[in-house]
Chains A and B, each alone.
Chain A
Amino acid sequence: MKNLILLFVLFLTACSTTVPVKHKFPDVPSALTEKCQTLKKIDGDQVSIVDLHKTVVENYTSYYECAVKVDVWNEWYKQQREIFESVYK
């Protein structure tokens, strides 16, 4: 009987409880989910250099707006990843 008690005590192990801890994936700022504008074309047969200039400037503006979004997307990913990984260090 004494040996049986000893055996019981030796093999006693506790069960672990797994509790799911949810880590929500961060949302993306709404400004980054907007699509980039398509480039503008020049309309009409008689096109002046002013019209050409206007269209080119508008297209450059569209490009820079889109470039800002791409740059901020990269920044968002890099920093969110650092924040995410800091939880599991």
Chain B
Amino acid sequence: MWVLQFLPDSFILYVVYCAMTIGAIGILLSYVIKHIPFINIYRTPIQIISIVIFCAGVYWYGGYDTEMAWRARVTEMESKIAEAEKKSQTLNVELQNKVVEKTKVIREKGKTQIEYINRLVEGRTVEIVKDMSEEQKKDFLAKQKELQEALKNCPVPRIIVEEHNKAADQK
């Protein structure tokens, strides 16, 4: 029956109706020729062949009906799948953009923090303190002084560096 997939619907239906019609006509004819002399000797073969053709027609009609039901289901599934694939692609684009944007924000934040400390160390704080109140500025300058003093007097102990590196190690 898989061959039916490659045939157009109208052709299949045409063949099915032809078989059923020929079979039905043959069966009727076999009853009519019963009364016609000479020809009535062919009555039995005509009747058998007609019944076979008619039955084949009915069988094919059933096959056609099932085929059409399957085709409808296939079309329905194909449209659902196409819609789902479209949604999947749209979602992928959204998520790709989300990862890219969030990663960008995270990197910018890291860079800003490192740059902020570098400015404090190098004394480039004009931009940082320009909008601060006097009290905030005083507090900020105290923190900057504390940092600069710590830089001069407090190197990070080697054990801290070693332990940090151990923690960062994947093994």
Contact = CB atoms under 8 A, between A and B. Distances in A.
A72 B103 CA distance: 12
B113 interface: yes
Interface in B65-104: 65-67, 70-71, 74, 77-78, 80-81, 84-85, 87-89, 91-93, 95-96, 98-100, 102-103
A25 B24 CA distance: 51
Interface residues of B, number: 62
Interface in A2-16: 4-5, 8-9, 12-16
B8 interface: no
Interface of B: 1-2, 4-5, 47, 51, 55, 58-59, 61-67, 70-71, 74, 77-78, 80-81, 84-85, 87-89, 91-93, 95-96, 98-100, 102-103, 106-107, 109-110, 113-114, 117-118, 121, 147, 150-151, 154-156, 158, 160-161, 164-165, 167-170
